[in-house]
Amino acid sequence: MGATVISPTYLSAYLLLLCLVCSLKEGYAKGRRATVAESHHLEHSHTIQVSSLLPSSICSPATKVLECVCDAWFPLSVLDKKSSLQVVHKHGPCSQLYHHDKANIPTHAEILLQDVARVKSIHSKLAKSLGSTKVDQTDAANIPAKDGSVVGSGNYVVTVGLGTPKKDLTLIFDTGSDITWTQCQPCVGTCYKQQDPVFAPSLSSTYSNISCSSTTCNSLASATGNTPGCSSSACVYGIQYGDSSFSVGIFAKEKLTLTSTDVFDDFLFGCGQNNQGLFGGAAGLIGLGRDKLSLPSQTASKYKKYFSYCLPSSASSTGFLSFGYGGVSKFVKFTTLTTLSQGASFYGIDIVGISVGGKKLPISASVFTAGGAIIDSGTVITRLPPTAYTALSSEFGKLMSRYPKAQPLSILDTCYDFTKFSSVSVPKISIFFSGGVEVPIAAKGILYVNTISQVCLAFAGNTDDTEVGIFGNTQQKTLQVVYDGVGGKLGFATGGCT
């Protein structure tokens, strides 16, 4: 798409004028005869039109990434960058998956149930040292299968190309997974229904199997948690996500096309011949974790394990997934990435505090360090230590006392009925990370909406303080989240996409 060119002289004058207007606004605000309490309330709350909480059936794509300067938004044109992919919610009108299978779009209660399954899987994986289950069957068709009743593998998808000639595939992207896989013909076991044609390796001139005697095959153990198997000298991978969903098939290499100028030969991926799970019609999954088989690791020679994304504010808008340094906001603030000994492929983070309505909650630092935390693009609702969640919910409830309470929704227990209101005032929430990094949560990241009569605080508590906390994707909405794998840093910038 073409980018609008603005002359530097015009842009500088425009910025100067805007900042002058901002200064006048600020001076006017200071001169108002408002009470201290009123000023504090206005500064530390979001005013939300209730009608905007309702889902839209019309796709309104964000054509530019925006940056806030002096309360004004400026286009950064990151979507024009050659190494960027458009991100859409798999159950939203901007996704072809949505139009392909409207009848099977899950309810919010089902989505939250799937989220519980994903979190339990993560907690289980981190609660013990990583064991390894042998994929010891000699034929991929004979891998025992569980019924894929639920899957919590992520909400956001991108489209990439695989093979020669290139076949476009819509894949879930997941920072909590490492191996990339797609369903392949022939489905010698079971293949679930997907929107794209199933990839046929026999029709690609650049496809080849990995030998089960190779060191590359052995590297699957750390990426999947399972020891690879062998079928007619071909390496067999198997990955199960802890919630009955799985993919089993041949480990192979193929040409991967991210964009017209970003093409990678010999990309290692799973060619799934036996797959089950409710993947929402997606053709598979892109692993963005930290293992050597993940996409960032396999493309490190070009991108230096540097990528960023922005999750859209709603399912009817779009965001981006960008590789390399291009288009990253100059206002990004970095915190240090940590490594969890039990799960080195997860992106560990240090949460140090929370504020609600401009007030820092009195939570001891030891509450956050007891279990540690990760950031995960596939978990929907942020999970906090119960001590921290109780403090957050209590303070949020005090500031929302004017609104009638509603029944809990699954794991969400702080809910409100906005039926009789045209607009509501919701306290701002910020999460604080190590290094003095404050990340304000967007208004759309504070609330989870089932119906107007049941709008809930979009946070939940773990079972106990020793379980790992998870910074989920609802709270990441509209942030540009920057992963610097080589530098060991994680960055946040507000106003990433709108």
Boundaries of every domain in the chain: 84-125+152-321, 329-494
Is the distance from CB of 392 to CB of 412 less than 8 angstroms?
A: no
Mean pLDDT over residues 347-364, rounded?
A: 97
The residues annotated as belonging to the active site are: 174, 376
What CA–CA distance (Å, rounded) separates 284 from 215? 25
Question: Residue 315: how many CA atoms within 13 Å on its side-chain side?
Answer: 20
pLDDT at position 82, please?
65
Residue-wise DSSP of 106-132: PPHHHHHHHHHHHHHHHHHHHHS----
Strand-pairing partners, residue 52, are none
CATH number assigned to the domain covering 84-125+152-321: 2.40.70.10
pLDDT at position 99, please?
65
pLDDT of 154 higher than 90: no
**pLDDT, tens digit (0-9, with 9 covering 90-100), for 375-398:** 999 999 999 999 999 999 999 999
pLDDT at position 262, please?
95
Mean pLDDT over residues 236-254, rounded?
A: 87
Can 84-125+152-321 and 329-494 be said to share one CATH topology? yes
Q: What end-to-end distance do the CA atoms of the chain give, in Å?
A: 18
Strand-pairing partners, residue 184, are 199
**Band (69; pLDDT cuts 50, 70, 90):** very low
Is the distance from CB of 460 to CB of 412 less than 8 angstroms?
A: yes
**pLDDT, tens digit (0-9, with 9 covering 90-100), for 423-468:** 999 999 999 999 999 999 999 999 999 999 999 999 999 999 999 9
pLDDT at position 280, please?
73
Q: How far is CA 324 from CA 187, 319, 367, in A?
A: 35, 16, 35
pTM of the model: 0.86
pLDDT at position 41, please?
61
Three-class DSSP labels, 183-245 = EECCCCCCCCCCCCCCECHHHCCCCEECECCCHHHHCHHHHHCEECEEECCEEEEEEECCCCC
pLDDT at position 439, please?
98
- DSSP strand pairing (480-484 vs 382-384): unpaired
pLDDT at position 75, please?
47
**427 vs 340 pLDDT, higher one:** 427
pLDDT at position 121, please?
85
Question: Does the domain spanning 329-494 belong to CATH 2.40.70.10?
Answer: yes
pLDDT at position 427, please?
98
**Band (20; pLDDT cuts 50, 70, 90):** very low
Mean pLDDT over residues 119-143, rounded?
A: 57
